């Protein structure tokens, strides 16, 4: 939605505002909260050059993944979802849309949630299925490998710059939440994928002011949006046939879990992920214990019915 369109009398958000005022008799504070939540989605969709009427389920799902990525509390995400449900019900009722992109979006759980984790073989299969004969192939390989090898948030990946790469020293400088910088080791495989992509990137028609950004749209020559990375991941998951809830953030979870399983110190993982509090990182100890329990149940002789019969 173009800047200022909310003030246009015929815009859906302006009509929704009047609906909340006249039909729902909302207080000014509640009304502004509802409109503010809708505008968050509207701003997110700008990168895909869509407005809220054109959004589909995958767009809204990517939006909520981005809220998780930047640390928005589950209760706040639940409130935003409630606002969007109200907004899209109005749009459908008023004839702006025929479907409802938030219809099957699940409310966030308030308890401690153990996210899905990809096995290394699943990550390799996603990378290997990428067709290098396509113009985006090498770029997409570099995206997946860099997200996983460095444990990056999708927002950190999209803002990564050439000047942040210290590939000879095997480090990447990452600009995290709150503008805080950290140095993260980068694997030899990610370095190889990045160098191959950067060599191809040199022939791109890059938009002015975007020369230092690493991951660019081949069509626009501008930095990739988070929603584009979300779609890249979803397409690869479908191509491989992985039956898990996978998003760009899943690679970050997998990175941390695999480090812990390999014996890495929790404080080191905290530093690489850029967590302010060790309690945030400790979720991975719960994942590790859950897996350990499952391994014991499956493989301990006392849990084997064939052995108990002897």
**Domain end call among 93, 111, 144:** 93
What's the pLDDT at 29? 84
The catalytic residue positions are 153, 177, 249, 252, 275, 284
Say if residue 169 is in the same domain as residue 126.
yes
Element (H, E) at 287: helix 283-299
What's the pLDDT at 80? 93
Domain assignment of residue 202, given as a range: 120-295
Torsion from C-alpha of 81, 236, 283, 285, nearest 10 degrees? 160
Say if residue 197 is in the same domain as residue 238.
yes
Total domain count for the chain? 2
What's the pLDDT at 10? 66
Distances (CA, A) of 310 to 74, 271, 297, 299: 50, 50, 19, 17
Q: How far apart are the first and last CA of the chain?
A: 71
What's the pLDDT at 179? 78
What's the pLDDT at 292? 44
Say if residue 187 is in the same domain as residue 242.
yes
What's the pLDDT at 2? 42
- Environment class of 98 (CB within 10 Å of its CB; exposed 0-12, middle 13-18, buried 19+): exposed
Say if residue 199 is in the same domain as residue 243.
yes
CATH number of the domain bearing residue 77: 1.10.150
- 3-class DSSP state for residue 181? strand
What's the pLDDT at 185? 87
Say if residue 134 is in the same domain as residue 216.
yes
What's the pLDDT at 112? 53
- How many whole angstroms separate alpha carbon 76 and alpha carbon 177? 18
Ranges of residues in the chain with a pLDDT under 50 are 1-9, 287, 292, 295-297, 299-300, 302-303, 307-310
CATH number of the domain bearing residue 273: 1.10.443.10
Answering whether pTM is above 0.95, one says no
Mean pLDDT of the chain: 83
What's the pLDDT at 295? 46
Say if residue 228 is in the same domain as residue 128.
yes
Question: Is residue 266, in this structure, part of any structural domain at all?
Answer: yes
**Domain end call among 76, 93, 110:** 93
Say if residue 69 is in the same domain as residue 177.
no
- How many whole angstroms separate alpha carbon 200 and alpha carbon 139? 9
Question: Is residue 156, in this structure, part of any structural domain at all?
Answer: yes
Residue 275: name the closest of 140, 159, 184 by CA.
184
């Amino acid at each position: 939605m173009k800047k200022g369109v909310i003030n246009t009398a015929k815009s859906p958000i302006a009509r929704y505002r009047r609906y909340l005022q006249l039909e729902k008799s909302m207080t000014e504070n509640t009304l502004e909260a509802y409109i503010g939540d809708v505008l968050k989605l509207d701003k997110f969709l700008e990168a895909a050059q869509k407005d809220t009427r054109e959004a589909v389920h995958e767009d809204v799902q990517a939006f909520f993944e981005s809220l998780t990525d930047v640390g928005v509390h589950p209760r706040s995400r639940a409130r935003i979802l409630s606002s969007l449900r109200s907004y899209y019900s109005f749009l459908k009722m008023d004839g702006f849309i025929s479907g409802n992109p938030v219809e099957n979006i699940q409310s966030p759980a308030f308890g401690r949630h153990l996210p899905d984790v990809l096995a290394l073989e699943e990550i390799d299969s996603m990378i290997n299925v990428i067709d290098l004969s396509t113009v985006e192939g090498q770029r997409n390989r570099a995206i997946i490998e860099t997200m996983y090898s460095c444990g990056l948030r999708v927002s950190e990946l999209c803002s990564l710059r050439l000047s942040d790469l210290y590939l000879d020293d095997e480090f990447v400088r990452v600009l995290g939440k709150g503008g805080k910088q950290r140095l993260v080791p980068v694997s030899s495989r990610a370095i190889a994928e990045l160098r191959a992509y950067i060599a191809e990137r040199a022939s791109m028609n890059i938009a002015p002011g975007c020369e230092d950004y690493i991951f660019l749209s081949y069509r626009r020559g501008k930095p990739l949006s988070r929603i584009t990375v979300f779609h890249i991941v979803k397409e690869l998951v479908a191509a491989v046939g992985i039956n898990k809830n996978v998003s760009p953030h899943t690679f970050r979870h997998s990175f941390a879990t695999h480090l812990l399983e390999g014996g890495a110190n929790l404080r080191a993982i905290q530093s690489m992920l850029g967590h302010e509090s060790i309690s945030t990182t400790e979720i991975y100890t719960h994942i590790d214990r859950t897996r350990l329990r499952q391994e014991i149940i499956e493989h301990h002789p006392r849990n084997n019915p064939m052995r108990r019969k002897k």
